[in-house]
């Protein structure tokens, strides 16, 4: 084989790998339990864990065994099913079963306060509980089928997001992403990384710069894991480096995910996203959000209303269980920040790319 043939062969292999690895399900309902990838041990180990109780699912979401707004939405739906199975075995009357299950669904929605997909999915399960005329066993089955439907819908939605997003990726582009909005943040394929995957399938010359994403290093641990497994050329940088590379003309666009989007387009995402957006605006680099419509919370007018989760101080003071700072230093650890809509070039959804004025384009997307 000559050099060109070897190059083309390698590219084809990369595309095949991307297609294979993007089919891995992050979370899946199996028989009477939830099966999910344990993301706390990546990239050192790839393993699935079995979640068999409602409290077990609450804890899995809280401790980020499962993470990413779309994935924890599905996890919340699974959690309601698990609680329903437990309550169904207690010999309760139908009315008491419904009462207690509604309370458990509300509790599940509190496991993490920022990602709206979690509240949305639990609310969808509550609608089934409230509206069902069935007996207890049938309600459990209806909840289970709805959870499975949400799983399948998530993958289909992400592929639409990827295809719409690929349309705005320049040929040979270098894309910067922050945190992990890939297959492991969803049921599969990903939102921001779904855009990367779809673009790469059309143009294997694109590459990615991934912020490490302190303090939990989702970019370093998870995004690089996903993309290198897919054979997509990826460069890891620290969070403070993006302006340097933007100034040197080495970044063409930014695509990130979202945990909650307000009605005016203000977007909550992993802490550090706002900083990237400011740098992109200064350097005239388009900054895109990739997220399903379920991440848009039209009940809140602006990002000022988004509750920001405050996480453990040890996430900042320790890495792999080892302290990295003076032991008595004060720590503040917000898990998210809010990027103002003025910095966002477009919101890539399953119904197309929304553009400013976001109040108008978001309302129109929900009306379709």
Question: Active-site positions?
Answer: 259
Number of H helices and E strands in the chain, helices first, is 13, 16
What is d(CA 79, CA 224) in angstroms, rounded to the nearest whole number?
29
- Exposure letters 73-106 (e unless 16+ CB within 10 A, then b): bbbbbbbbbbbbbbbbeeeeeeeebbebbeebbe
CA 93 and chain centroid, separation: 38
Query: Distances in Å between the alpha carbon of 167 and those of 76, 170, 203, 230, 350?
Result: 32, 8, 11, 20, 13
What is d(CA 293, CA 287) in angstroms, rounded to the nearest whole number?
18
Q: Are 150 and 77 in contact (CB under 8 A)?
A: yes
Q: Identify the helix (H) or strand (E) that includes residue 322.
A: strand 322-323
Query: Distances in Å between the alpha carbon of 308 and those of 83, 115, 116, 151?
Result: 27, 9, 12, 26
DSSP string, 183-195: GGGSSSSBSHHHH
User: Regarding beta strands 267-270 and 260-262, do their DSSP bridges make them parallel or antiparallel, or are they unpaired?
Assistant: antiparallel
Tokens 């990826």 locate to 234
DSSP summary character for residue 219: I
The separation between the first and the last C-alpha atoms of the chain, rounded to the nearest angstrom, is 52
Residue 327 CB neighbour total at 10 angstroms = 6
What is d(CA 171, CA 203) in angstroms, rounded to the nearest whole number?
7
């Amino acid at each position: 084989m000559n050099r060109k043939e070897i190059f083309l062969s390698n590219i084809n292999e990369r595309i095949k790998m991307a297609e294979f690895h993007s089919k891995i399900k992050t979370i899946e309902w199996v028989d009477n339990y939830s099966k999910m990838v344990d993301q706390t041990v990546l990239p050192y180990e790839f393993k699935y864990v079995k979640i068999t109780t409602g409290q077990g699912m609450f804890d899995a979401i809280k401790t980020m065994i499962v993470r990413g707004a779309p994935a924890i939405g599905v996890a919340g739906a699974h959690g309601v099913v698990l609680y329903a199975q437990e309550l169904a075995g207690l010999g309760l009357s139908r009315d008491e079963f419904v009462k207690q299950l509604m309370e458990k669904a509300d509790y599940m929605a509190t496991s993490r306060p920022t990602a709206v997909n979690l509240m949305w999915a639990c609310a969808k399960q509550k609608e089934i509980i409230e509206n069902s005329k069935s007996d207890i066993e049938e309600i459990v089955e209806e909840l289970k089928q709805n959870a499975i439907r949400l799983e399948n819908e998530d993958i289909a939605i992400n592929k639409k997001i990827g295809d719409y997003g690929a349309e705005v990726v320049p040929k040979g582009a270098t894309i910067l992403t922050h945190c992990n909005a890939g297959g492991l943040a969803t049921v599969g394929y990903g939102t921001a990384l779904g855009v990367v995957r779809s673009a790469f399938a059309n143009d294997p010359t694109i590459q990615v710069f991934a912020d490490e994403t302190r303090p939990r290093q989702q970019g370093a641990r998870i995004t690089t894991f996903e993309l290198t497994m897919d054979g997509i050329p990826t460069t890891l940088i620290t969070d403070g480096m993006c302006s340097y590379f933007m100034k040197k003309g080495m970044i063409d666009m930014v695509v990130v995910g979202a945990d909650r989007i307000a009605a005016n387009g203000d977007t909550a995402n992993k802490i550090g996203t706002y900083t990237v957006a400011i740098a992109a605006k200064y350097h005239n680099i388009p900054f895109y959000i990739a997220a399903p419509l379920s991440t848009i919370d039209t009940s809140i007018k602006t990002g000022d209303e988004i509750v920001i989760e405050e996480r453990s101080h040890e996430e900042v003071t320790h890495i792999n269980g080892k302290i990295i700072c003076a032991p008595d230093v004060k720590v503040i650890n917000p898990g998210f920040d809010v990027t103002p809509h003025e910095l966002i070039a477009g919101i890539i959804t399953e119904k197309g790319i929304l553009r400013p004025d976001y109040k108008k384009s978001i309302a129109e997307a929900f009306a379709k």
